[in-house]
Structure formats: C-alpha cells, structure tokens
Amino acid sequence: MTDECITRNFSLLNRSNSGGSSNGQTKSNRSSIIDNTDAKGCMEGSSGGATGTGSGVPSSINKYVARMPVDRYASEYNMNHKYRGQAIIFNHEFFDIPSLKSRAGTNVDAEELRKALKSLGFDVSVHKDCKLRDILKYIDKAASLDHTDNDCIAIAILSHGEHGYIYAKDVQYKLDAIWHYFTAHICPTLAGKPKLFFIQACQGDRLDAGVMLEKNGVTETDGESSMSYKIPIHADFLFSYSTIPGYFSWRNTTNGSWYMQSLIQELNTNGKKYDILTLLTFVSQRVAIDFESNVPSTPLMDRQKQIPCVTSMLTRILRFTDKPSGNKAG
Amino acid sequence: MTDECITRNFSLLNRSNSGGSSNGQTKSNRSSIIDNTDAKGCMEGSSGGATGTGSGVPSSINKYVARMPVDRYASEYNMNHKYRGQAIIFNHEFFDIPSLKSRAGTNVDAEELRKALKSLGFDVSVHKDCKLRDILKYIDKAASLDHTDNDCIAIAILSHGEHGYIYAKDVQYKLDAIWHYFTAHICPTLAGKPKLFFIQACQGDRLDAGVMLEKNGVTETDGESSMSYKIPIHADFLFSYSTIPGYFSWRNTTNGSWYMQSLIQELNTNGKKYDILTLLTFVSQRVAIDFESNVPSTPLMDRQKQIPCVTSMLTRILRFTDKPSGNKAG
C-alpha cells in the first residue's frame, strides 16, 4: 500500500463561475490521479499515517448530510432566510479567580454590541459573568436549536485572556471548546452558513510599540445549480480577535475596549454596506491607527499599539443585507 | 502604581471617513481616561505585568519612524508605487529527512504560481529545496532591501508541515522565524504595506470528512490627510494557509496541491478584479467544494475534504490594480 491517495476532483467540469480553467489546464473527472498529503506523518507506514489517533474521524462520518442553504457556486452567503439568527454575548466583568481584576468598561461594550447586532437583525442574548459550565450549557443549547430559518450565528466573548485561553468566571478554557459545537456534522442546520466569533480578550502579555508613519509624497449569485455538494465540516467559520496571539488587548474603563468600540462603530456605520471581511479590515484600521496607550509613569506600557486579527474559513461573501421588517429576530 | 493605563485616543476627532461616531457617542481628545489590558498578567504587581520577559519591546522602540505609504484613512492600500514588489517562492520537493517523501507535483504549483504572480506585476524568484540557513539568508536579504518604490511583498512556501511547523530541506521551523523579519520596525520600507504569506503545507494529521449539502429550496480612497500616524508593528500582514491548524493538506502528484491549484486559478481569473480577501474567500470555496480525496482502499483517508484558512492583519482593502507597462517588476 502507498500513502498516495486518489483524487476524485469530481466537480471541476461543472464549475461555472469565475471563468473556469483560465490557466490553460484542462480539467476532467479523473478517477485515478495520484494525491498526497503534505504531512510528515502521512508518508510513513502501510496505512498512509492516517490510521493513528490523530485522524480522529471515522469513515462513517461520510454519511452526514445537511440541507443546502445556498447554491453550490453562489458567491455570496444566503442572507435571505426568514431570520438573521442567534447572537450570544458572554460578558465578563467579575471573576472568582483572585488574580483577575474586574473588567471596568465591559458593560458599555456589551450593551453597545447588543444594540449593533440587534439592528443587524440578530436575536441577541447577553449572559453576564458565566462559569464555564453555564457557557457550555448555553452553547450546547444554541447548537441544538433548529437554525433552518436562520442566516447565521454570532458568538461574542468579552473577557480576560492569555495565550490560547479565555477566562470564564471560574476557570480558563480554550475557544476550541466552544466552536467545535457548531461544526457542520454536529450542527447540520448551520452547515454552509456563517458562524461568526468575536473575541475581546488578551492573547498574551506582549506589547506592540508601533512605528510612526510620516508623510513623504503621496459576483453576483449564480443561477441554478441543483447538484448536491459536500463541504468540509470546518468551513464557514470566522474568528475576529481583538489582538494577535501573544499580545495585550486594551480596554478603556469608560468607553469600553478599543476593539469593541471600533467593531461596534463599523457595524453601526457600515454594517449593511460592506461585506464582513471589509468591515473587519476597517475595524483593524480603526484600532491600529486611532488608539495608543498613554501611561507615562510606566514607560514599558506607554504609547503602545494594538492590531486585531481575523481568521476566516468563509467560502462566500457575507453581507448583512436588510431583511423584510417583522423578521428581525430568529 | 496601578495597572490602569491612560488612553490618548489622540485622533478620534480627526477621523473623516466611514461616517465617524454614528452610535451616538461623542469622541474627544481624552488625556485622563482610564484603560486596562485584558490580560491576567497585567493585573498583578506594581508594574502592571508588562516588565516580564513577555513584553519583549523596550520603550525606546517608540522612536521608530517610517515613510507613510498611504494617507491615514485611505480605505485601500496604495498599489501605485513604481513597482509591485518582490515575490519569493520556496519550493520543496526533496528532503534530507528520511521520513519525508518527495513532494511530486510541487513543481507544477511553483511554476504556475510564479507565472500568476508575475502577471500581477511581482518580481518573482523561486528557490528550490533550500536548507533553513538558506531560507533565512534569502529572507534576511529581502527584508534588508529598500522597498520604498514597491507596493508590497509576497512569500510563498510549498512544503511538508505538521502542527506549527514547516519543513526546510534539513530541519523544521516555525513561520514566526520568517515573518518577524518584516515587522514594521525591522523593515521600515514595508511599514504600512501589505506583507502576504501563502503556505501550502499540512498543519497536522487530522482529516475532515465533510458534510453533504442537499438541495431543499432555495471604498473609495480618502482625499488629503497629511498628519503623521503611528501603526502597530504587526499590522498589514496576511497569512493564507492551505488548511486549518491540525489538519492534512492535499496535493495531487500531477496537477499540484488543491490549494495552490485554486489560488493560482483565482489569481489568474480574478487577480485584478477582486480585493485579496474576496479572492481568498473564493480560493476557499474552490478547495472546499471542488475537491475530495478518493482512497477506497484506505477508508480513513477516503472522501476527505479540506478548508483553507486566512489570517489577516490588513488594515485596508488590497487590490492588484494594473500598473503602467514597463513597471512590472520591483
């Protein structure tokens, strides 16, 4: 046996948008073309390295089927379901952990974010100072709902954090503990729909001092394509972090965090105008340019900068277009 | 002393695009508003937790200054420099490490990517089967160049990988080892310009079996703003990974990897039409929908899916608009 795998490439002939095979290659249904994976592990042993504990997914998973929320080659997500969908805000101000100070300003963030998401049509719930078991209870409940008539889901977490971890009221946890509830095989009514995460929390204790810049000079949705299609279970997630891994995330005790202030302002100003990745690019611009810490008494903390970080597994353009009135909440 | 930090918020009054403060908040130059960082560490001790080894950045960094490549609130990156910029492709086929098999198909990826980047105006160089010391030599040399007349820089790595690591010919390394060369304080002539990374490599040995979806129903650039402004040193990076952390990345021994085939086809078809995040969303759509592994003899590897992953710290829209002929390479 070899580690080399055969690709089905089953649909290349049927692709209709974006101009098809423009680079001169002719595509066809190839049933015997050799594939590899680019993993060290895949190259060893008789089973191609994928039978170890790392693979994690039994072949029986191939049976999973979900309803198609949008045509196969649509360039935009379908945001025309009856409802926009659920938005859940986990707002953390006070902690049981002695080393964690209360997060003054977070209630401004939570309230402004609630209003911004509501005006985009979300059915918003806010949960204050939850212990991890309660967070998981709400997440499990949300993942168990029928989202058939909803466009998407949004989860926001406002808390303390450090590298790789976020704090609940009582313990720290990894974001993985939450977002895996919404993978397409576990939550099929959200399969093929955007799953949005907004995280306001530190990802470490490093500081970004910045660089001064000085002046010097100066698809539309496809028509019909009724074939069934298969998507990766991890597709259609988006994670918007307030800061990059390893770094501080700043919060103003009166106005809320730099990131949440910026996110809320962009959602309110351009939320229905631009797609989400453009919106979040402008959020990054606001945070990166408009804010700077001022702690002259602590030189190491003084005049520091922050850059948010977006990680996207989205497969289509996402735009919060208007809904008919009366269908504002899901 | 307290951990609470004072925010300068120095420029909120001057913000001119995107409608400003639309959420009813009035902004002003506040010199005494209290800030926190959302880190556990920041709350302890007399120095706010930022004096540990984690902070890494001396306060003297505040002196770093670079040339402003674009107006402060421009919504798009300035892609009208004399040259597009350097593109460096590290193409790995053969390895000194016995467990790593040769990567058949990678030369197709490298050659097609070279042509695609060249047609977007990049000055492309391809380095084959480099040892780590040679990779670092080329990276160091590139970071030392004067990029004043260039729009941006692009680095592509085609190799084996596993969680958190990429393989050079001789040893594994972290992507951090490369991209830190281009942070704004180390490479000031790229400050405020896009720094693009395209990574074709496994990030682990997990498999994504997918879910079947079945049919059921249905900025423009600002005008003048001549003030100097400060940006985070980590702003303006973009990382486009072929797969998500922990997962396999698939490669066809004849046609090249699923991700590179898709990236190249999008660059060739829509490279000058859409912004980079829209382009990469469509790359993800191609990989997620068009490809599926076919290894009936190894059920665990059979009919598996893949989803790419984009991590963006961009602060403006990036579009590879046409350059005047004669200025194709930088």
DSSP-assigned beta bridge partners for residue B241: B199, B309
The CATH number assigned to the domain with range A86-312 reads: 3.40.50.1460
Short-list A74, A257, A30, A47, CA closest to B298: A47
Minimum distance, in Å, between the CA of residue A143 and any CA atom of chain B = 16
Among B201, B213, B312, the residue with its CB nearest the CB of A191 is: B213
Distance from CA of A153 to the nearest CA of B (A): 18
The closest alpha carbon to A202, from B237, B51, B54, belongs to B54
Predicted confidence at residue A10, as pLDDT, reads 31
Least confident stretch, A188-197, B60-69, B81-90: B60-69
Active site residue A5: no
Per-residue pLDDT tens for B72-82?
A: 778 899 989 99
pLDDT of res. B62: 52
| Residue B34 confidence (pLDDT) | 56
How distant is the Cα of A138 from the closest Cα of chain B, in angstroms?
Answer: 23
Mean pLDDT calculated for residue range B101-119: 92
User: Would you list the domain boundaries of chain A?
Assistant: 1-56, 86-312
- Cα within 13 Å of Cα(A150), Cβ side: 24
Taking an 8 Å cut-off on Cβ atoms, the answer to whether A269 and B206 are in contact is: no
CA A141 to mean position of chain CA atoms:
19
Output the six-digit token pair for B29: 């130059």
Q: Which chain B residues are within 8 Å of A104, Cβ to Cβ?
A: 34, 36
Positions of B marked catalytic: 160, 202
Mean pLDDT of all residues belonging to chain A: 78
| Helix/strand/coil for B21 | coil
* Residue (of A186, A163, A182, A166) closest to A174 by Cα position: A166
- CA-wise closest residue to A62 among B310, B289, B303, B293: B303
Residue B270: which pLDDT band, with cuts at 50, 70 and 90? very high
Higher-confidence position of B73 and B5: B73
Do residues A292 and B30 lie in contact, with contact meaning Cβ atoms separated by under 8 Å? no
CB B298 within 8 A of CB A49: no
Quick check: A5 and B294 CB within 8 A? yes
- Mean pLDDT throughout A44-50? 29
**C-alpha dist (Å) from residue B311 to A52, A277, B79, B199, B261:** 29, 11, 21, 11, 20
DSSP string, B189-229: GGTTS-EEEEEES-SSSB-B--EEEE-----PPP------E
Beta strand residue intervals within A23-176, DSSP E: 33-37, 65-67, 86-91, 123-128, 153-158, 161-162, 165-167, 172-173
Q: What letter does residue A100 receive in the DSSP assignment? A: P
Structure confidence at residue A33 (pLDDT): 53
Distance CA B136, CA B145 (A): 14
pLDDT above 50: residue B18:
no
Which numeric CATH code is attached to B85-211+219-312? 3.40.50.1460
CA atoms of A261 and A240, how far apart (whole Å): 14
Enclosing H/E stretch for A282:
helix A276-290
Q: Identify the band that residue A127 occupies on the pLDDT scale cut at 50, 70 and 90.
A: very high
Q: Compute the distance between CA of residue B109 and CA of residue A5 in angstroms, rounded to an integer.
A: 18
Question: Which segment of A31-40, A271-280, B71-80, B280-289 scores lowest on mean pLDDT?
Answer: A31-40
pLDDT tens sequence across A206-253? 888 888 777 753 322 233 344 678 889 888 999 999 998 888 888 887
Interface test with B, best of A170, A213, A214, A316 (most B CBs within 10 A): A213
- Looking at A81, A202, A234, A309, which residue is catalytic? A202
pLDDT of A143 > 70? The answer is yes
Rounded CA-CA distance A48/A159 in Å is: 42
* Contact criterion met (CB < 8 Å) for B8 and A184: no
- The per-residue pLDDT for A67 is 82
Radius of gyration (C-alpha) of chain B in whole angstroms: 22
How far is B121 from A51, CA to CA, in rounded Å? 44
Tokens representing residue A299 in the block: 């030189």
Backbone phi, then psi, for B234, in 5-degree steps?
Answer: -100, 5
The token duo for A174 is 């990894």
B246 versus A189: the higher-pLDDT residue is A189
In this prediction, residue B142 has a pLDDT band, given cuts at 50, 70 and 90, of very high
